[in-house]
Each structure stands twice: as structure tokens, then as C-alpha cells.
Amino acid sequence: GTLGGLGLALGLWRRQAALAAAREDEEEKELRQRFMAPPVSGLRELRRRRRELRSRMELLIMETQAEMCRALADLDPGASFAVDSWERKEGGGGISCVLQDGEVFEKAGVNVSVVSGLLSEEAARQMRSRGKSLKAKDGKLPFCAMGVSSVIHPKNPHVPTMHFNYRYFEIEEADGTKQWWFGGGTDLTPTYLNEEDAVHFHKTLKEACDKHDLKLYPKYKKWCDDYFYIKHRGERRGIGGIFFDDVDSPSKEEVFQFVKSCAKAVVPCYIPIVKKHCHDSFTPEEKLWQQLRRGRYVEFNLVYDRGTKFGLLTPGSRIESILMSLPLTARWEYMHNPPESSKEAEILEVLRNPKDWVH
């Protein structure tokens, strides 16, 4: 009787194991279809550590990348994303998805990176300069960083450029304690001002913030206006959105849930604006103004943007992915000034004096 019972139990266990394996394979297949490419950490590893925040964040950035790429591809069916998985010899890697020379988008990139290793001295200095106290062991600071980053440059000057980035950072100090924080944001850079679009964009981001705390949107909207400031021009890069960095309270879970709400808002805040304007007619003069505004975009990214600087200071980082944010074409004219009371002067006024779009 005992042997018979053991045989039954063994048979049942085998059946359950086979079912579990089949379920795992199914889950893996479904995940693979959901993403643009296999995740950097590998599906098995992510599933094994699925309760850990690092794994959940990696799944979130992979999903955000796929959602945005599919939404963009639907609007530009003649174009396709080049999907490029890359490895970093110092640890980790990433997936770059870039669409170029489409009908609607001149250049659209959505990148994911998951990197680890030792923080370079320059990168550590940059962090300390913003108030981080980092205690290195023998001058070494192990770190792990992951994020999704996107810049979309449309062809039509009546469709705004959009940027978003959501990231997580972890550093292990000399005594083994871990410092962690989240950063990110979503912002809009129109060539011409459309108040209705500006309100829609800001309202969608405000709703995402308000689910967590009513103080977040005004705080992060101001941070965005202050951060994307081209000091040497005395103007903002665009009409803002939200931006935050070094956020490590109230708790890891609460900040993660907030970041998730923001990431889920990127498609609804932007795609309706593209749909609305991608077939608008435009003049050669309007195209020229777009090229000049793109020049400003480049100036901000190369002179001030912290993410670009961090990437360029990190050994083994992938330059092509870091500079994906730059437009395919831009223009710098000597002493260009738009006529007073023109549509071009109208956007400059808003870039010099940010507006409250939601009240």
C-alpha cells in the first residue's frame, strides 16, 4: 500500500511539474511577444526574482518600450523600428529601437538599458555635486542602473517633439548599505504653440501624479521648467511636463507605483496630439523654424542634460544610444529673430515665461 501511495504521489508530482513547466513556457512565449526583444537580464532570471523591485522595474521599462514603439508604428505604417540589442562588457546591456525617415517621424527612438558595474570617478563626482554622500570602498562604488528613454522628432512642424525617461538607480556603499532612487519625467517641445494640445498633455500627466499625491504635479512641473532651461539663451527647451530625480521616499514600493503611473501616461499624453496634426499642411518657412528650434534642442542636450553627461562619463556606455536623442536634421542661423506678434514669437514668449496649463 505504501509503495502504491508513493507511486501515485510521484505520478501526481510529475504531472504538476509538467503543468508548471508548460505554464512557464507559455508565460515566456507571451512575454517574448509583448516585448521588442528578450530582456537584458533574461526572462528566466526575471521570473526567478519577480518579487524583487529591480526585476519589476525591468519588466516595466520593457513594457513601456513596447507600448510606445507599437503606438508609433501604428501611426507610421510605412516605417519600421530597427531593434538593436547590445551588451556592455563591464556588465549589462540594452535594447535600442529606432525608426528613421518615416512618413510621420523623422526620427523616433525608444531605448532600454540595464547596466551594472563600478561607478566611474566622474559619475560619482557628478552625484556628489547634487548632495549624494557616497562612501566608496577602496575607491570603488558598485552600481546598478536601469531605465527607458525616448525622444520623438516628427517631420511635421505642427507635431511637437516629445521626450520621456524613467529610471532606477542603486549604489552599494563601503559598509554594504544600498542607496536607491528613482528619476524621470515626460516633456513636450512644440515648434508652434497649440494651447489645446498643451492642456491635454499637462492634464494627462497631472492625472497620473494626482493618483498618488496632489502635491506632486505642481512640484514636478516646476522642476521640469527649471531643469530644461537653456541658460545661455534664457529660454526653456519646451513647454515642460514633469521632471524629478533622486526620489527615495516615502517607500520603494510607493515610488515605484508612482513611476509606473507616469510610464503608463506616456502613450495617452502624446499619441492623440500626433494623430491630430500629422497630416496638417505646412509651409517651407514653418519647416525652417522647426529646424532652428531643433538646434536649441541639441544645445540643451549636449551642454546641460545630466543623462547625456552621465552616459558619456560611464565607461563602456553605448554612444549611439546616448546620442539617439539628437534629431536627424537641425539648423543654426546667425542672429535669427522672428517678427514681433508672429506665431514664432508666440512660442518664444511661452519658453521664456512658463505657463500654468491646467488651472
Catalytic residue numbers?
163
Element (H, E) at 142: strand 142-154
Residue with cell 522642476: 223
Grid cell for residue 356? 500654468
Q: How far apart are CA 355 and CA 187, in angstroms?
A: 14
Contact 97/111 with Cβ under 8 angstroms?
yes
At 241, is the secondary structure helix, strand, or coil? strand
Going by their DSSP bridges, the two strands 92-100 and 82-87 should be labelled as: antiparallel
Residue 99 to residue 73: CA distance in whole angstroms:
9
Cell 529660454 -> residue:
235
Integer Cα distance of 244 and 170 in angstroms: 16
How many Cα atoms within 13 Å fall on the side-chain side of residue 325? 26
Let me know if 114 is exposed, middle or buried by CB neighbors in 10 A (0-12, 13-18, 19+).
buried
**Which stretch of DSSP H or E encloses residue 7?**
helix 2-34
Residue 311's contacts (CB-CB under 8 Å, 6 or more residues apart) are 317, 319, 321, 322
